[in-house]
Structure 1
Amino acid sequence: MNNSFYLPEQPFFKLSTRQFVSRVGSSSGLLAQYYSFKVPSNDDRAIVAVPDGTIDILFHCSDSAPTASVCGSVKKGKQIEFKKGSLYFGARFFPGTAKQILKSPLSKFTDREILLDDIQSNSDESVELICGAGSFDERISLFEKYYTHCNNDKDCTPSLISFLLKKINTSCGEIRVQALAEETGYSTRHVSNVFKKYVGISPKLFSRIVRFQRSFSLLRLQKKVTFADLAQNAGYYDQAHFINEFKEFSMNTPTQIIHGSFC
């Protein structure tokens, strides 16, 4: 992650699973990542979902009962009970882009997991095909056919949302909603309402998430860095602020992540 580009991640999907593979999203620029993992059958720990400010469509590739769910961003770290020994395939959108395929305000999905069939009643056949595919690459190909069929260019991301996301990303989350409003000429209330509709959460929370995701990335890349330096580099007020927010969003301390003793 750099100062002008935010790639939403779920680090525990990789750290706590097996056979994890991923690929950057489609050339459309709306999909951030495709990924797949297998849940260990001999590990009783739940897998932590962290706030990422975006939407995933997650497929449970079960032979007997394949399903797909629309998963909105959590607001703080949350333990997710995946089916032991099962294979999952996911498509993760960039923030502000999933409304084009879901045709609903994204705030509807925040902190929730809703079956795709409840959103798009004609999705059953595609879900079965994607879950039953023989490889990761084939699942990607089938999902992109489904996505292209559902996508509607008339419902594209407004320029206001693109501008707000860019300002938050380039500031690494260090910008106030009042400053965003002043730069756009809109009221803070209008900025917040539109942002929730297209991103799912408030711009203030999204800014905190960008900062947290940056700190997690830095922690994994620079394991010898001091927490004080990491807090400063990630944009926190001080070390205590960094540790408290890291625990809230990941359900772990930075030390646990460094030593691989996370829950």
Structure 2
Amino acid sequence: MLSSSHSYQVANIHSKQPWFVLSAEKYATNLTTENPVISHFYSFEVGKSQAPTTAIPDGCVDLLFDCNSDSPMGLVCGTTLEATEVAFNQDHRYFGMRFVPGFIPDFIEISAPELTNKQCNIVDVVLNSQDLVEQIISASSFQEQVQIAKQFMRGKQGRKPTNLTHQVAAKICHEKGNIQVQDLETFTGYCSRTLQRQFRADLGLTPKAFCRAIRCQSAIYDINHLDKVAFSDLAFNLGFSDQSHFLREFKKLVSATPLEYQNRVKQKTYLDRIQCY
């Protein structure tokens, strides 16, 4: 198990895919404290007539399992770089394990850049994973799936990024994505070209793309959890030069304006839809 010094905390934000929550028939989550590299486990049920939904940037890698006994499948999912349409199988139940932002398990046999914006069949990129897929699919409950996933992760390590990447990722998370590349140059003493080359090799993203993902998650977290959000204040707190820039960026990453997203969250009572275990 990786020590907590190798994980990156984003102000206690457990990055979620909000459109998955809002579109699911049922959505459950388990916030584990046993392994610092796991953000959380989750499960959701897709309705009989559910239309495609949207994935947004989160900087995370997921293991996602389609639990339908007739067509079971396990996927390794890298982060998207902007709002991306995702189609799930109707009337299926899914189980997922999300790692903390910037963490890539060492048992995934694919480079970090190849994983970004991609979904790979788990049996193609994780050795001897068919047994894990079968156990997850045959489990009788979400809680049992969580225990199976925890057991699978015991003794597993993460890819060791360079100290430079580790410091930069931790700094970005600490600042909730509100930091410029020139500030990272001052923080590390390295030029932007070196920062980008090493960061992308280790995590599959440029520092700027990772900042965008973390800042996106910070914005939706505030909208999800605060009763009143002044978008001008939110834009300022996240380092945007003006509110219009924030609105354009939010729309590109979330596929809705902040106001449209806020209305959907309140209408669907976002937090009430999540069953916590």
Matched, 1:195 2:170: no
Q: C-alpha distance in 1, partners of 2:230/2:103?
A: 36
Range 228-237 or range 73-82, more displaced: 228-237
Would you identify which runs of 4 or more consecutive aligned residues in structure 1 move more than 6 Å? Answer: none
What amino acid is aligned across from residue 236 of structure 1 in structure 2? F
Quick one: structure 1 residues 190 and 104, their matched pair in 2 at CA, closer, same or farther if it must change by over 3 Å?
A: farther
More displaced stretch, 22-31 vs 80-89 = 22-31
Structure 2 residue aligned with 1:146: 152
- Structure 1: segments with no counterpart, 5+ residues: none
- Give the aligned partner of residue 42 of structure 2: 35
SS of aligned partner of 1:224: coil
Change beyond 3 A, Cα 1:136–1:49: same
**Partners of 1:96 and 1:161 within 8 A in 2:** no
1:197: Cα distance to partner? 2.8
Superimposed CA distance per residue, residues 182-228 of structure 1 (whole angstroms, 9 cap, x where no aligned partner): 32233322322222233221111111221121111112223533322
Q: Does 1:24 align with 2:31?
A: yes
Structure number with the bigger relative contact order (C-alpha 8 A, sep ≥ 6) is: 2
Distance 1:121 1:49 in 2: 27
CA RMSD of aligned residues (A): 2.2
Distance across 1 between alignment mates of 2:82 and 2:187: 29
Gaps of 5+ in 2: 1-8, 268-277
Q: Displacement, 1:21? A: 0.6
The alpha-carbon deviation at position 91 of structure 1 amounts to: 0.5
Deviation per CA, 1:32-84, whole angstroms, max 9, x where unpaired? 110000011123x2111001111111000011121101111111101100001
1:97–1:156 contact (8 Å) kept in structure 2: no
CA deviations 1:69-120 (Å, max 9, x no partner) are: 1111111101100001100000001123223231433211111111011102
Alignment of 1:88-237 (within 5 A): 88-148=94-154, 151-152=156-157, 155-237=159-241
Identity %: 30
Aligned counterpart in structure 2 of residue 10 of structure 1, from 12, 17, 27: 17
Change in 2 beyond 3 A, CA 1:114/1:3: closer
Q: Return the alpha-carbon distance in structure 1 between the equivalents of residues 157 and 171 of structure 2.
A: 26
CA contact (8 A) 1:100 1:157 kept: no
For 1:84, what is the secondary structure of its paired residue?
A: coil
Q: Which residue of 2 aligns with 1:68?
A: 74
Q: CA deviation at 1:146?
A: 2.2
Q: Are 2:29 and 2:42, in contact at CA under 8 Å, matched by a contact in 1?
A: yes
> What is the rounded CA distance, in whole Å, between the counterparts of 1:20 and 1:142 in structure 2?
19
Q: 1:223 to 1:258 in 2, by over 3 A?
A: farther
